Chains A and B, each alone.
Chain A
Amino acid sequence: MVELSHDSRPIIGRGPPLGATFLTLALASVALMVADKRYNQLEQVREWLSGAAYPVQAAVDLPFRASDWITDSFADRSRLREENLELTARLRLANLQLQRFAALEDENRRLRDMRENSAGVADRVLVASIMNVDLDPFRHRVLVDKGGRDGVFKGQAVLDAEGIFGQVAQVHAETAEVILISDAEHAIPVQSNRSGLRTIAVGTGDSARLSLPFVTVESDLKAGDLLISTGIGGVFPRGYPVAEVTRVDRTAAATFALVDARPTAHLDRDREVLLVWFTPPVAATEPAADATPPAEAPPPVAEPTAEQPQ
């Protein structure tokens, strides 16, 4: 009986059998995954490869940027006037508030200096544009157009004008990948501005909602409370708005309340974000190390790696 071969490659110069090639390549992929994920051995390779990917990403980004540029340069006069008026009004308001804040900040700094702790305030910022590139519909990550060449580092805090946006998860030469605070893998230590209650806000995969899973039923937290960053963990500067509590559900039978919050940053609408450099809090005055959970008011379940994207 004649059996037809499945193997349809050329008969001369075949190389190794199909199954062997498949096995080799499959094992190579698995080895890559393990090396990348488990041992973080591939930073260099990834950087080199992403250098090759950058032209493609830039090419995808280009038409969107060009259309923005065209709409900007051919904007009609009345629209510009309107925009100008609005911006002037906002600037006036902001300046008014700033006058007050300047005095407050000075006072704050003086008081903190007395406690020998002026750390945790943003020193330097860099504006980065979000590239028009879709990474994965189910993960909240974006690519920004600043990378290792501009001094961006892994774990750097990213803000927008209204609050905390996320942190840098991966640095390439020209670009960096930012994980948003709404990503289901992200958690950020926060504090209620009103009651001082400390807890952790976890992303849900929904850009309009964070979840606070470790708030006990008795805690002093109510809808409308502003949650600010605590600076614990050393990733985010302290005192920046993170989210506003939208819902607190207390069931008498449960230990933890169901708490939702809405991020103050425009996570799904931003085009530009700020990369922040700040002096991390001093370890002596603050329990700041990533590995140790906060000592003074730990959440009921302290996650040791709360601020690290896995």
Chain B
Amino acid sequence: MRPTDFARRILYWLSVAIGLVLAIVPLPEWLSPVRPDLALLAVMYWILTSPRIAGLGYAWLAGLFLDVLRGMTLGQHALGFVLVAFLTHRAQLRMRMFPILHQAGAVMLLLAVYHFVIFWTDGLTGHGYTGWNRWLPVLSGALLWPLIVAAGDTLTRRSR
């Protein structure tokens, strides 16, 4: 392991931690359903840029921590995170070649998968909320993707 790998790992966990904190920061009522899943977006970005360091275990732990923070059924977000991480890993070689808008579209699909998993497990455990606005984070996450990529690229260019 190169010495920079360790710094990278710290960076990855730090960005996820920031995403997790932002997942529970109180927002005004009207903004709260739109809140993008920043922790998941961070995980996806790191899997795309350096799949050799950011693996499935990393994604799973991040999801589990989100479950604990939000007081959800344990394993619910963990399952969503690990599924998205797996799909991203598989599509990683192709997704890296996509132009940014195309990539945002792919991210939107993956976010839809994630929210479907949450929606589905919610239904199974008896918390079914079926309003249309629970799908808003899919849209806001995809719209935010170019920004995440820009921020991440700037960050890694400096530490490289």
Contacts and interface: CB of A to CB of B under 8 A. Distances in A.
* A-B interaction: yes
A52 B24 contact: no
Interface stretch (A18-26, A231-239, A276-284, A288-296): A18-26
A26 to B, nearest CB: 6
Interface stretch (B75-83, B101-109, B138-146, B152-160): B75-83
Nearest to A169: B71
B9 interface: no
Contact of A33 (B32, B125, B127, B134): B125
A116 interface: no
* Size range of the chain A interface in the assembly: 35 or more
Nearest to B35: A137
A116 B85 CA distance: 63
Interface residues of B, number: 44
A46 B70 CA distance: 12
Interface centre among A49, A138, A310 (most CB of B within 10 A): A138
Contacts of A46: 68, 74
A10 B70 CA distance: 34
A26 B129 contact: no
Contacts of A143: 71
Contacts of B83: 22, 26
A56 B20 contact: yes
Interface centre among B24, B57, B89 (most CB of A within 10 A): B24
Interface of B: 17, 20-21, 24-27, 32-33, 35, 51-52, 55-57, 60, 63-65, 68-76, 78-79, 82-83, 86, 89-90, 92-93, 121, 125-127, 129, 131, 134
25 contacts: A9-B55, A18-B86, A25-B60, A25-B82, A28-B60, A29-B78, A30-B75, A32-B75, A32-B78, A37-B73, A49-B68, A53-B65, A56-B20, A57-B24, A60-B21, A133-B24, A133-B25, A134-B27, A137-B35, A138-B33, A138-B134, A139-B127, A177-B71, A184-B129, A310-B126
